[in-house]
Amino acid sequence: MKMPNGRMWTNSSRFSPDPAYKVPVLKIVIGDDAPDDSVIPTKMRDLPPLPGNWQSMLDNRLIFEVERGSAGGETEWLINGKPFTPNTVSTSLKNSAGRTPLAQQKKGSFNLWEIRNGGGGWVHPFHLHMEEHRTVMRNSRDVTRGDASHPDDVSREDLVALDPGESVIIYRGFRDFVGPYVAHCHNLAHEDHAMMFGWEITP
């Protein structure tokens, strides 16, 4: 897809990518023959099933809204109204249970997190460190059986593809390690201008 200005793709190419459009990145010169170990198996391991009761976790989900702030400069981009502050555990927006939980999860637990695009016509590829997640809802629709506009949603992912105005709910596990982690927009110009938050896994 053509993305000439870093803001988002051009209108013409979002759902009809131009196969002739190429960006030179790296030239590889084959020097010799070698065995081809590159073939991906036609049948991959089945995804483990999601727990049947994931919807019951919706009310207590954690909610993070990524948005542009008004201050500009080094803290131009915000999450839940705040710029990134190192060594700080962020707080969720108020969820349907009326709570604003800390972004803090016990080791061995699972939870739903919602990432919202606060608008302005921007795409935010939102990356969460630690464990890969499963996308369960997109714009209030159950997408556990797939979503034509986001075909990669049916795999394990470490990134939420957040199109303009979208809201995505993901199922996360916190199984292996304790400690502080971050989550951030992977548009690095956004990340470097404070679109990041701290969260934590506790024993």
Using CB under 5 A, list all residues that contact Cu ion: 124, 185, 187, 190
Specify which residues 111 forms β-bridges with. Answer: 172
Short-list 194, 196, 195, 190, CA closest to 8: 190
Query: What does the alpha-carbon distance between residue 107 and residue 105 come to, in Å, rounded to a whole number?
Result: 6
Nearer to Cu ion, 92 or 117 (CB): 117
Query: What does the alpha-carbon distance between residue 201 and residue 181 come to, in Å, rounded to a whole number?
Result: 8
Nearer to Cu ion, 147 or 163 (CB): 163
Nearer to Cu ion, 128 or 185 (CB): 185
Query: What does the alpha-carbon distance between residue 14 and residue 158 come to, in Å, rounded to a whole number?
Result: 22
Nearer to Cu ion, 79 or 201 (CB): 79
Nearer to Cu ion, 61 or 190 (CB): 190
Whole-angstrom Cα Rg for the chain? 19
Query: What does the alpha-carbon distance between residue 161 and residue 157 come to, in Å, rounded to a whole number?
Result: 10
Query: What does the alpha-carbon distance between residue 112 and residue 62 come to, in Å, rounded to a whole number?
Result: 7
- SS3 at position 44: coil
What minimum distance in Å lies between the beta carbon of 72 and Cu ion?
15
Tokens 């506009």 sit at which residue? 149
Two structure tokens written together for 14: 């979002």
